[in-house]
A and B are shown apart, each in its own frame.
Chain A
Amino acid sequence: MAEDHTHDHPHDHKHPHPFQPDLEDKPLTHYQAMTEAVGELLIEKGVITGDELRAMLELIDSKSPAAGAQMVARAWVDPAFKERMLDDVLAAAEELGIDAGGIPIRAVENTPGVHNVIVCTLCSCYPRQLIGLPPDWYKARSYRSRTVREPRKVLAEFGTVIPEDVEVRVHDSTADLRYMVIPERPAGSEDLDEAALAGLVTRDCMIGVTLAKAAG
């Protein structure tokens, strides 16, 4: 098409290109409106200040998978720490100076015979304090429904093919606990120090949809 479109004709450039909608172009949902209203009321009544609300949002946004990765790397190099982490994630986090918040979190460990993957079928429970904000797909109905129904297919779509002789263990965090996966330490990572090991630990492998990155 480009070849016979020479641009030597008058061209007024009034093509109707669709614009990307602004945030305000869609109506507020019920819960958005309620959230805005409660936030404004709390500020208006002096319960919190606007700055405190902003600071809390900033704190939530600042959480990243780095904290979880640091814990996994320590667990790989220190089996006693790993046992303590499997026993009590919040206390283990505190040992490393990480504030894991007050919501109970449990770690589940991948082994040669078991691959763990986390889902919250009822909503989108997620250990934000240790692995940051959840990706949109984690909250999507397709991930939430398919991960319990056909976990191996979902994992394969993430590029993670689990052999038939390995158990796929799906954890549905339906209640008050949050879950994270301790992936297997990659082969060939023996010479890496703890910081380099942490670099192999991604958000997705702590959800369980992938393995840790390969070493080197």
Chain B
Amino acid sequence: MSARFAVGARVSVRAAFPPGHVRTPFFIRGKTGVVTAILGPYHNPEELAYGRSGEPALPLYRVSFHTADLWRDYDGSTKDSTVVDVYENWLDDASGEKN
């Protein structure tokens, strides 16, 4: 299975709020970041949690966000970043968005 996004790609996390076992933290939903690594195929935890096979496996990415983009009143440095592991089904292409 090939990964849809390359290292360096700008991606946005879907602003979705489905019920169930979801491994995408709320604080990155709807936010835009950059792929810093492709970790390979991993079984889908949203399926595994309910005793299903988790297949097809999904590419898992490391996505880096500016921490100041995640929190409206973040009081750290503008250099600070937050890196989260995100499964491909949560990511949309954001290459058209301004940095």
A residues within 8 Å of B by Cβ?
Answer: 104, 121-122, 148-152, 164-177
Contact = CB atoms under 8 A, between A and B. Distances in A.
A177 B87 CA distance: 12
Contacts of A164: 77
Contacts of B60: 175-177
Give the one of B77, B82, B83, B87 with max A CB within 10 A. B82
Interface of B: 23-25, 27, 39, 42, 45, 60, 67, 70-71, 74-77, 79-87
Give the one of A104, A121, A175 with max B CB within 10 A. A175
Given A174-B25, A175-B42, A150 B76 contact: yes
A152 to B, nearest CB: 5
Contacts of B75: 150, 152
Instruction: State the main secondary structure of chain A at its contact with B.
Output: loop
Give me the 9 closest cross-chain CB pairs, A-B, nearest first: A175-B85, A167-B79, A168-B80, A170-B82, A172-B84, A152-B76, A176-B42, A171-B83, A169-B81
Contacts of A170: 67, 80-83
Contact of B80 (A122, A169, A172, A177): A169
Given A121-B25, A122-B23, A148-B27, A177 B79 contact: no
Contacts of B87: 175
Contact of B77 (A149, A167, A172): A167
Contacts of A149: 27, 71
B25 A168 contact: no
13 contacts: A148-B67, A148-B70, A150-B75, A150-B76, A166-B77, A166-B79, A168-B81, A170-B83, A171-B83, A172-B82, A174-B23, A174-B25, A175-B86
Contacts of B42: 175-176
Contacts of B80: 151-152, 167-170
Contacts of A166: 77, 79
B83 A169 contact: yes
B89 to A, nearest CB: 12
Contacts of A121: 25, 27
Contact of A165 (B67, B74, B77, B82): B77
Given A148-B25, A174-B84, 12 more contacts: A149-B27, A149-B71, A151-B67, A151-B80, A152-B77, A165-B77, A172-B25, A172-B82, A172-B85, A173-B85, A175-B85, A177-B60
